[in-house]
Structure 1
């Protein structure tokens, strides 16, 4: 992780130096009477440059020389755009100890970002699973409701009437269809009566007194 932080810092330095080297050579002339002590003093001197190109090159040189900015109440602050936060520093540039703390803060920042991303992904996955469960539950309810709405088949009226007619006793003398209930029932009834007589004892007559 420290190698990543160092590479970010090195890239910034190289970018600033490259911009300065691409400026016209005459912009490197002495455009201040004395060496500036911080960025603000350097920028004030750069504003006095003769041409716009010299001013641009001078401001780029100020950014490369001084990382800190003056604070209203005294001291300096360093803004790290990688973390989007500022750090209080003692001088116009961070000391090695201050730079170490800034790098450690950036390492912690990356770890927090990774944990936040993992938590967000887990939350999104959980919400997606809950939504899928709700959809499945709604589908089951809809299917059960649809099944309950299907009408139960009702026996046709003609079949019901035929069944009722078969159950009624057949009038005497009326021809019947062989095998029908109305035709077979009298015969079955007579048979049952005969069986009952066999198992029912005939009451004996009382003996006559002399």
Structure 2
């Protein structure tokens, strides 16, 4: 944490005084009659420099000495470009207590940025997973559609054996076809009955009892 704050302050100092270190040495001579109390007073005095080079160097010096800027209603404001935020301060430069609050705000800013990045990454992963599931479902549905549709088997009718119907007796009085079974059967039946009587002995009557 101390390293972050030290790097942050170093970045601010380098950004503010970088151009000031590149200007000629003679431009850093006292060009005001008294020390300015804030950036605005320092910038007004810099406008009176002899030439453009000295004016540019003087403005860079003002920016390095004063971090705050005057507010229209009084007081000063400090803009922290690292977190793109403006803070109200009492004087032309932040006090140690004000600087501590600014640093704490920067720490919270970094934490929020980290959480936002993690949330964005999680949302991106979830979206990728959903897209992968959709593609998998489409591929599965396509594969199912490619499978051949089973053909329903038509049952083969089983041919049952024909039952031969018995010949019905010929009704009486109906014309008889010579040689047909219905015509010859009555005559054969009578002959069989005669044979049965011939070979079957007639039962003898028992003798009568005497009274």
CA separation in 2, counterparts of 1:37 and 1:49?
18
CA separation in 2, counterparts of 1:17 and 1:127?
47
Structure 1 residue 18, shift from structure 2 partner: 4.5
Q: Which runs of 5+ in 2 are unaligned?
A: 165-202, 204-211
Q: What is the RMSD computed on CA atoms of the aligned residues?
A: 3.1
Cα offsets for 1:66-124 (capped at 9, x unmatched): 00001111110000000000000000000000000000100111011111111111111
Give the corresponding residue for 1:96: 96
The alpha-carbon distance between structure 1 residues 18 and 141, as it changes in their structure 2 partners (threshold 3 A), is closer
CA separation in 2, counterparts of 1:16 and 1:82?
13
Larger Rg: 2
CA separation in 2, counterparts of 1:74 and 1:17?
27
1:46-65 alignment runs, 5 A limit:
46-65=46-65
TM-score (norm 1): 0.69
The structure with more helix, counted as a fraction of residues: 1
Q: Contact conserved, 2:17 with 2:63, CA < 8 A, in 1?
A: no
TM-score (norm 2): 0.69
CA separation in 2, counterparts of 1:79 and 1:15?
13
CA separation in 2, counterparts of 1:80 and 1:14?
14
**Number of equivalences:** 165
Q: Contact conserved, 1:31 with 1:49, CA < 8 A, in 2?
A: yes
Structure 1 residue 41, shift from structure 2 partner: 0.8
Structure 1 residue 19, shift from structure 2 partner: 2.8
Q: Contact conserved, 1:20 with 1:61, CA < 8 A, in 2?
A: yes
1:23 aligns to 2:23 (yes or no): yes
Structure 1 residue 52, shift from structure 2 partner: 0.8
Q: Which runs of 5+ in 1 are unaligned?
A: 156-162, 170-184, 191-209
